[in-house]
A and B are shown apart, each in its own frame.
Chain A
Amino acid sequence: MVQVVYIAHDGEQTELNVQEGWTLMQAAVSNGVDGIEAECGGACCCATCHIYVDDQFLEKIPAALAQEEGMLNEVVAERTQNSRLACQIKVSNALDGIIVRTPEAQS
C-alpha cells in the first residue's frame, strides 16, 4: 500500500492507503474524496480530475502523454506547471507519501 495525501481547496486533508497500480483518481473516487469528479471514469477525456502535484513528487511521475496534455488545456481551474490529471497517475512505491491538491472547481 502507498500513502497518498489529498488536500482540498479549503485545506481539508484526506490520507489514503492505496493499492499499487491504482490511479490517484480511482483511489479518490472510491473513497469519496471531494474535489475530484472524474466524469469520464478515467478514459482521459473529461478534464475533471485535475490535481496539482506537490513539487517534490513532480519529477517522479512519468511526463504527460499527448492525450493528457490536450485535456489539461480544458481544465476549468488555473493550469500550472504542477497540473496533472489524477486518472493518468498510477500509484507506485516511488510515490509513497505523495501530496496532491485539488482545485477550486472541476467543471
Chain B
Amino acid sequence: MSKFPLYSNEFDANPFPFYKDLQENAPCFWSDDAQKWVLTRYDDIVNALNDWQTYSSAQGNLVDEFPGRAGNTLGSMDPPKHDELRAVIQSVFAKRNLTHLEEPIKATTKRIIDNNIGNKKHFDFAKDFSSEITFDVLATLLGLPDTNKEEACANALMMVQTDIKTRQKGPEHLAAFQWVKDYASNVIAERAKNLGDDAISQLITAEVNGVKLDLIQVELTVTTLIMAGIESLSGFLKMFAKNMANYPEQRAKILADMSLLPDAIEESFRFNTSAQRFRRCLTKDVTLHGQTMKAGDFVILAYGAGNRDPRKYENPDEYDVLRKAKGHLGLGGSVHLCLGNAIARLAVKAAMEVFLTEIPHFSQAEADDELEWLASSNFRSPKKLVFIRE
C-alpha cells in the first residue's frame, strides 16, 4: 500500500490519515507515485514558503505542470520578477477596493437560489450554486463576457485535473488548458481595444522596469486567474458548504450568529482547504529530518497536511468554527499567498450568508467515499455535491 497514493479516489476522499502517517513517520518523504518529495509538517512548509530562494516556483507550481506555463504566471515566478508583476495587479484584488462587490454578490446569490434551487428537496450545490456564483464574481472582477459561461467553467474544471493512470496531463486536460488560453487571448485582444480599470487592462498596460509584459505572460496569467477564479473559489465554496452540512452543531452556531461566518471561513481554510498541495523545485541540496533532497528535485508542499499538524493546532481534526484559526496554509503563504485571498473571503461570506439564510438546514446525500472527487494533484473538491434540504 502506497504511503501517498496521490492519484487515487481513495486519497481524494480522505487524504488526512495518509498525511498523519507521513507527519509522524516520514516528515520528509520521497513519493514514488509522484516522483517528488512531500513535506507535511506545518513548520517545514512555512520554512519552505519563506525560503523561496531555495524552494523555487520558477519551474512551475502545479504538482503536474502544463508545458510552457512555468515562468509565465505569477505563481510560477520567483521574486523580484514575481513581486514586480504582482504589484501591477494587486490593487485590483485589494480588500479596500472590493467592498462594493458585497451587495451585488448577495443579490446574485439570491437570484441563483431562486432560479436554480427554488423548493427542490435535492440539489447539486456544485452545478446549481457554486459554479454559477463563481463565474459571476470572476466575470465582474475581470470584465469577462457573459457568453460561453458553461464551457468556460467546464474547461477550467477539466484543466486542473490529471490522468490518474498516466499521472500526467492527458489530451483532454491539455485541450481544456488550450481552450481557456484561447478564451483568455480573445478577451485580451478585445480588451486591448477598449481598456478599463479591471485586472486584464492593468496587465495589458503594465510596465515592469519600463518594459511591457510579453503577450504570452499576459495570456497565461489571465488563464491562471480564470482557472483559479473558477476552480479554486468554487472548490472552496463546496468544501465550506460541505462542512456546514456535515457539522450541524457548528452550523447552528452560525445560524444563531452570522457574525461568526468570517471565523468559520478561516476554520474551513484550515480544516479542508480545496488547495491541498502545490510544488516547488530545489535550487540547492537540503537535508531535512535525515533525508537529503538534491538540487533540481521537486517538493510537494502539502498545505492540507500542515493545517492538521498537531504541533501547530490543538485537536487539529476537529472542525471548530470558534477556533479563530490563524496562520493556516489554506491560501498558501509568503509571497505566493493567493492573489485572490480578499475576494475569496468576501465572496464566500456574502454568498454563504444568503445561502444559509435561505436554506438553513441541509445534509449531504452521499458519503465521502461515494463522491466522485476532482482528479487533481493540487486541489480537492467533489465534482458533484448533492444536498438534501431538511
Q: Are A43 and B94 in contact (CB under 8 A)?
A: no
Min CB–CB distance A45 → chain B (angstroms): 4
Does chain B have a CB within 8 A of A38?
yes
Q: Are A43 and B327 in contact (CB under 8 A)?
A: no
* Cα distance A43–B342 in the bound complex, in angstroms: 15
Q: A32-B326, A39-B341, A39-B342 are in contact. Are A46 and B94 (CB under 8 A)?
A: yes
Q: A26-B50, A29-B327, A32-B327 are in contact. Are A42 and B334 (CB under 8 A)?
A: yes
Q: Give the residues from 27 to 45 in chain A that come closer than 8 angstroms, CB to CB, to chain B.
A: 29-32, 37-45
Residue-wise interface mask of A (53-82) relative to B, using a CB-CB cutoff of 8 A (1 in contact, 0 not): 000000000000001000000001000000
- On chain B, the residues within 8 Å of A45 by CB distance are 83, 86-87, 90-91
* Cα distance A46–B97 in the bound complex, in angstroms: 11
Q: Give the residues from 161 to 197 in chain B that come closer than 8 angstroms, CB to CB, to chain A.
A: none
Does chain B have a CB within 8 A of A107?
yes
Q: Give the residues from 301 to 347 in chain B that come closer than 8 angstroms, CB to CB, to chain A.
A: 324, 326-327, 332-337, 341-342
* Cα distance A31–B327 in the bound complex, in angstroms: 6
* Cα distance A11–B5 in the bound complex, in angstroms: 48
Q: Give the residues from 330 to 377 in chain B that come closer than 8 angstroms, CB to CB, to chain A.
A: 332-337, 341-342
* Cα distance A26–B316 in the bound complex, in angstroms: 22
Min CB–CB distance A87 → chain B (angstroms): 9
- On chain B, the residues within 8 Å of A22 by CB distance are 50
The A interface, classified by DSSP as helix, strand, loop or mixed, is: loop
- On chain A, the residues within 8 Å of B324 by CB distance are 32
Q: Are B50 and A43 in contact (CB under 8 A)?
A: no
Interface band, chain A: 20 to 34
Q: A30-B327, A42-B334, A45-B87 are in contact. Are A76 and B96 (CB under 8 A)?
A: yes
- On chain A, the residues within 8 Å of B334 by CB distance are 26, 41-42
* Cα distance A96–B46 in the bound complex, in angstroms: 22
- On chain A, the residues within 8 Å of B335 by CB distance are 40-43
Min CB–CB distance A1 → chain B (angstroms): 13
Q: A22-B50, A30-B327, A46-B90 are in contact. Are A41 and B96 (CB under 8 A)?
A: no
Residue-wise interface mask of B (77-96) relative to A, using a CB-CB cutoff of 8 A (1 in contact, 0 not): 00100110011001101111
| Interface core residue of A21, A22, A44, A76 (most chain B CB under 10 Å) | A44
- On chain A, the residues within 8 Å of B86 by CB distance are 40, 43, 45
* Cα distance A38–B82 in the bound complex, in angstroms: 16
- A67's nearest neighbour on chain B, judged by CB, is B87
- On chain B, the residues within 8 Å of A42 by CB distance are 334-335, 337
* Cα distance A76–B94 in the bound complex, in angstroms: 13
* Cα distance A42–B86 in the bound complex, in angstroms: 10
Residue-wise interface mask of B (52-92) relative to A, using a CB-CB cutoff of 8 A (1 in contact, 0 not): 00000000000000000000000000010011001100110
Min CB–CB distance B73 → chain A (angstroms): 14
Picked from A30, A43, A48, A76, the residue with its CB within 8 Å of the CB of B87 is A43
Q: Are B83 and A30 in contact (CB under 8 A)?
A: no
- On chain A, the residues within 8 Å of B94 by CB distance are 39, 46, 48, 107
Min CB–CB distance A47 → chain B (angstroms): 9
Min CB–CB distance B61 → chain A (angstroms): 13
- On chain B, the residues within 8 Å of A29 by CB distance are 327, 333
* Cα distance A30–B328 in the bound complex, in angstroms: 7
* Cα distance A29–B49 in the bound complex, in angstroms: 13
Of all A-B residue pairs in the complex, the 10 with the closest CB atoms, nearest first, are: A32-B326, A41-B337, A45-B87, A43-B83, A45-B90, A43-B86, A30-B327, A107-B95, A32-B327, A107-B96
30 pairs from A and B in contact (CB 8 Å cutoff): A21-B50, A29-B333, A30-B46, A31-B326, A31-B327, A32-B324, A32-B326, A32-B327, A37-B95, A39-B337, A39-B342, A40-B337, A41-B332, A41-B333, A41-B335, A41-B336, A41-B337, A42-B334, A42-B335, A42-B337, A43-B335, A44-B83, A45-B87, A45-B90, A45-B91, A48-B94, A67-B83, A76-B96, A107-B95, A107-B96
Q: Give 13 new A-B contacts, CB below 8 A, not counting A43-B83, A48-B94.
A: A26-B46, A29-B333, A39-B95, A41-B332, A41-B335, A41-B337, A42-B335, A43-B86, A45-B83, A45-B90, A67-B83, A67-B87, A107-B96
Interface of B toward A, CB cutoff 8 Å: 46, 50, 79, 82-83, 86-87, 90-91, 93-96, 324, 326-327, 332-337, 341-342
